[in-house]
Amino acid sequence: MDEEYDVIVLGTGLTECILSGILSVEGKKVLHIDKQDFYGGESASLNLTQMYNKFKPSALSGADGKLPEAFGRDRDWNIDLIPKFLMANGELTNILVHTDVTRYVEFKQISGSYVYNKNGKIYKVPSNEMEAISSPLLGLFEKRRVKSFLEWVSKYKDDDLSTHKGLDLDKNTMDEVYYKFGLGKSTQDFIGHAMALWTTDEYLQQPARPTFERILLYSQSVARYGKSPYLYPLYGLGELPQGFARLSAIYGGTYMLNAPIKEVLYNEDKTFKGVITKEGTARAPIVIADPSYFPDKVKSTGKKVIRAICILNHPVPSTGNVDSLQIIIPQNQVGRKNDIYVAVVSDSHHVAAKGHYLAIVSTVIETDKPHIELDAAFKLLGPIEERFMGISELYEPLEDGTKDHIYISKSYDASSHFESMTDDVKDIYFRIMGKPLVLKPREDSQNDGN
Amino acid sequence: MNATTNQATSIKLVLLGESAVGKSSIVLRFVSNDFAENKEPTIGAAFLTQRVTLPDDTIIKFEIWDTAGQERFASLAPMYYRNAQAAVVVYDLTSPQSFLKARHWVKLLREQSGNNIIIALVANKLDLCEEQAQPETEQEETEPRGNVRKVAKEEGQKLADDEGLMFFETSAKTGEGINNVFLSIAEKIPLKKKGNEQESATFNGNGQSENSTSSNGRIDLNARNGSSEACGC
């Protein structure tokens, strides 16, 4: 091939696939390439053979390449490399609905959201005033204070001073807001970490608005379907990039997997010109890529995430045998700076063979013995059948891409949801198009033969 | 719109086969009874739908998935054939290469979906084949005529017998055999008895549930802005 495109996209991670889909719908001619032979990059879901090949290549070769019998059929497994859930009221849900990618992906609720307490027990996270009142997590007096805080959040209106109770979201820090409502340290932990989903305590000294908005997102997401604020796609998160790739493809996007980049071509002014793959040369004025395609144009954020993917043959203890849940272990409760997250899904989401559960434990590394940092979480899981551990360094682009027309996404962070990923999508879109992303419902997306 | 009292059973049907064997033309012939020389790939259609009414008044609604831009470099996403209840694997009977590719797709479908999926093997471009030639005097082809068939009917039939597939020879150009492919598939669809539909919808077709949370905990994200599309199907 020797072809011209409007945009070349490298890597089929979720960020890249959403952009590819949106740009194709807008009429851009897109060539989408992945060096690997499967969709999803870092946001793929893998089968067991792929998991062993990636994390424990020797384990399979010792057994004639056969999977452990207890794990059933390979194709029943769709194991996420990165644990995340969708906020029911979050931006990714919004994008899915507006692009009609909901046609290809089916979702289930995550059954519960739990938070860990010093005493070693886990509690369901109260999501509104009523649940706060009945939660065993809080003492009697604290319940009333939490109730009054959550009422303030739900009633606060920017243009109505009487709802502000003397607080200013942009001037007061979150620490000051907690003080005003008399909320103690452990209550702050569950509000800031299990509802606002901050992973560190840095937010305490920042203006209260972002925390306020996160708590609102959490409670509105719970209010949408009940149980928990989270949704999860059947067959694993890897369905999401595939869904957006299909969107791109039906709007004319061309897909090329298993095609390592032999060479990146540049114009004389060092702007992007094209790429050479085994299929030949493709040119475009713009390239979008994940960090792995331009290692010399990204820098480490200094953060590394450890993720332990655990296979269980039983539900997580003390959760009422739910099929899925999140557990947040706030940093303070275990003497850390970063929270530990546990995301659990199971065969009911078509990600594991019958009777099996997947628990992904993750945190930002703080010591030189990262696997020990996850111990508090492992203790909550009960017996573990198999464990795959990996450490990812988080990267971000050195430049914004406007100079060389190379737009690079950020690595998927340690957060439990996709909100920072969709921020990145919108940010890259803005840098490329010079205007904000406005989602319009798709028209004539289906001919209906009747 | 017809006042159909019978509920249609939706079937996801995927098309597989090498480029240019006539997958899209087969669908176009089936859905619109039309044929276009040098057809451009369909843009913007999530999938095409067509209803078939069986002799017993059962209605089968095919949701036909085209490969779109994922076939040229053999980059189909697993999502494409996931939960497909039927597949049409097409080859060009003038191209042995495309027959090889068809074998590959059959194998892959069996790996992914087991024996639950109904597979039709279709040898297309029968019109290019002399022995079949009805006195066809319409227009002169620029290509030399003569027997261009490179894959014998027996070869196709044998693959079908070995793998438990239905087998057809068709011409999307003349329409020969096309409707028969889809009718035959429709007849083989195992129908659920009335009132026993809970697991029938295996993917998120639109309008499948009345409320946003169905009994098995699946969620219809579109339900919230109920106005978006109640889709008149």
In this structure, the answer to whether residues B59 and B129 fall within a common structural domain is yes
Report the candidate in A189, A224, A221 with the shortest Cα–Cα distance to residue A204: A189
Q: Under 8 Å CB-to-CB from A79, ≥6 apart: which residues?
A: A45, A46, A47, A48, A51, A236, A309, A351, A352, A358
Q: Which of B70, B111, B228 sits opposite A249 (nearest CB)?
A: B70
Count Cβ atoms below 10 Å from residue A149 Cβ, excluding itself: 22
pLDDT tens digits, one per residue of A424-439: 999 999 999 999 999 8
Contact B48 A449 (CB under 8 A): yes
Distance in angstroms (rounded) separating the CA atoms of residues A117 and A268: 59
Report the candidate in B58, B122, B54, B53 with the shortest Cα–Cα distance to residue B86: B122
What string of DSSP letters covers A116-137? Answer: E-TTS-EEEPP-SHHHHHH-TT
pLDDT tens digits, one per residue of A360-393: 999 999 999 998 999 999 999 999 999 999 999 9
- The whole-angstrom distance between B146's CA and the closest CA on chain A is 32
> Residue ranges of the alpha helices (H) in A156-201?
174-181, 185-189
pLDDT of residue A103: 87
In this structure, the answer to whether residues B18 and B72 fall within a common structural domain is yes
Report the candidate in B62, B61, B79 with the shortest Cα–Cα distance to residue B70: B79
In this structure, the answer to whether residues B198 and B232 fall within a common structural domain is no
- The whole-angstrom distance between B207's CA and the closest CA on chain A is 11
pLDDT of residue A371: 85
pLDDT at position A151 over 80: yes
pLDDT of residue B131: 56
Tokens of B77: 């996403």
Contact B217 A251 (CB under 8 A): no
Per the CB < 8 A criterion, the answer to whether A416 and A197 are in contact is: yes
In B, which residues are within 8 Å of A348 by CB distance?
Answer: 217
CATH number of B185's domain: 3.40.50.300
Contact A450 B2 (CB under 8 A): yes
Torsion B198-B200-B203-B209 (CA) sign: negative
Q: Residue type for A446, please? A: Q
Q: Which of B51, B66, B206 sits opposite A450 (nearest CB)?
A: B51
In this structure, the answer to whether residues B12 and B124 fall within a common structural domain is yes
pLDDT tens digits, one per residue of A313-353: 999 999 989 999 999 999 999 999 999 999 999 999 999 99
Identify from A26, A110, A220, A447 which residue to disrupt to test chain B contact, counting B C-beta atoms within 10 A and taking the largest count.
A447
In A, which residues are within 8 Å of B231 by CB distance?
Answer: 446, 448
Identify from B182, B214, B221 which residue to disrupt to test chain A contact, counting A C-beta atoms within 10 A and taking the largest count.
B221
B3 assigned to some structural domain:
no
Residues 44-73 of B with CB under 8 A from A: 44-51, 66-70, 72-73
Contact A259 B73 (CB under 8 A): yes
Contact A254 B78 (CB under 8 A): no
B108 touches chain A (CB under 8 A): no
In B, which residues are within 8 Å of A96 by CB distance?
Answer: 221
In this structure, the answer to whether residues B99 and B19 fall within a common structural domain is yes
* pLDDT mean values, one per 10 residues, chain B (233 residues): 64 90 89 71 71 88 85 83 92 95 91 86 90 49 64 96 96 93 91 45 36 62 53 40
Which one has a higher pLDDT value, B189 or A31?
Answer: A31
In this structure, the answer to whether residues B231 and B168 fall within a common structural domain is no
B96 assigned to some structural domain:
yes
pLDDT of residue B140: 47
Nearest residue in chain B measured CA to CA from A239: B79
Number of compact structural domains in chain B: 2
pLDDT of residue B194: 43
Q: Under 8 Å CB-to-CB from A310, ≥6 apart: which residues?
A: A358, A359, A360, A361, A378, A381, A384, A385, A386, A387
- The whole-angstrom distance between A421's CA and the closest CA on chain B is 20
B197 assigned to some structural domain:
yes
Report the candidate in B79, B157, B167 with the shortest Cα–Cα distance to residue B119: B167
B1 assigned to some structural domain:
no
Burial of A100 (0-12, 13-18, 19+ CB in 10 A): buried
In B, which residues are within 8 Å of A109 by CB distance?
Answer: 213, 217, 219
pLDDT tens digits, one per residue of A62-101: 666 678 888 988 889 999 999 999 999 999 999 999 999 9
Q: Which of B1, B46, B228 sits opposite A446 (nearest CB)?
A: B46
In A, which residues are within 8 Å of B233 by CB distance?
Answer: 448, 450
Per the CB < 8 A criterion, the answer to whether A76 and A353 are in contact is: yes
In this structure, the answer to whether residues B163 and B229 fall within a common structural domain is no
Per the CB < 8 A criterion, the answer to whether A426 and A436 are in contact is: yes
State pTM to two decimals.
0.88
Cβ-Cβ contacts under 8 Å between A and B: the total is 130
* Domains in chain A: ranges and CATH: 2-44+238-299+395-433 (3.50.50.60), 64-111+301-394 (3.30.519.10), 126-225 (1.10.405.10)
pLDDT at position A256 over 90: yes
Burial of B33 (0-12, 13-18, 19+ CB in 10 A): exposed
- The whole-angstrom distance between A104's CA and the closest CA on chain B is 6
pLDDT of residue A316: 96
In this structure, the answer to whether residues B167 and B223 fall within a common structural domain is no
Report the candidate in A14, A8, A229, A37 with the shortest Cα–Cα distance to residue A105: A14
Contact B31 A245 (CB under 8 A): no
Please state the rounded mean pLDDT for residues A407-422: 95
B221 touches chain A (CB under 8 A): yes
pLDDT of residue B40: 59
Contact A449 B51 (CB under 8 A): yes
Q: Rounding to the nearest 10 degrees, give the CA dihedral for residues A39, B212, A341, A290.
A: 30
- Residue for token digits 């194998």? B107
pLDDT at position A448 over 50: no
Report the candidate in A441, A268, A253, A232 with the shortest Cα–Cα distance to residue A352: A232
Per the CB < 8 A criterion, the answer to whether A246 and A24 are in contact is: no
In this structure, the answer to whether residues B56 and B155 fall within a common structural domain is yes
If you average pLDDT over every residue of chain A, what do you get?
A: 92
Contact A96 B68 (CB under 8 A): no
Q: Residue type for B43, please? A: I
B2 assigned to some structural domain:
no
Contact B218 A107 (CB under 8 A): yes
pLDDT at position A441 over 50: yes
B121 assigned to some structural domain:
yes
pLDDT tens digits, one per residue of B34-77: 777 665 555 666 678 888 888 888 899 999 998 877 777 878 88
In this structure, the answer to whether residues B177 and B128 fall within a common structural domain is yes
Helix (H) or strand (E) holding A245: helix A239-250
B124 assigned to some structural domain:
yes
In this structure, the answer to whether residues B126 and B177 fall within a common structural domain is yes
In this structure, the answer to whether residues B172 and B224 fall within a common structural domain is no
Nearest residue in chain B measured CA to CA from A26: B44
B171 assigned to some structural domain:
yes
Contact B45 A446 (CB under 8 A): yes
Per the CB < 8 A criterion, the answer to whether A41 and A265 are in contact is: no
Task: Indicate the SS3 state at residue A86.
Answer: strand
Distance in angstroms (rounded) separating the CA atoms of residues A398 and A393: 15
| Domain residue limits at B159 | 8-133+143-202
Cα distances from A331 to residues A87, A116, A183, A324, A389, in angstroms, run 22, 10, 18, 22, 21
CA neighbours closer than 13 Å in the CB half-sphere of residue B222? 23
Please state the rounded mean pLDDT for residues A183-199: 92
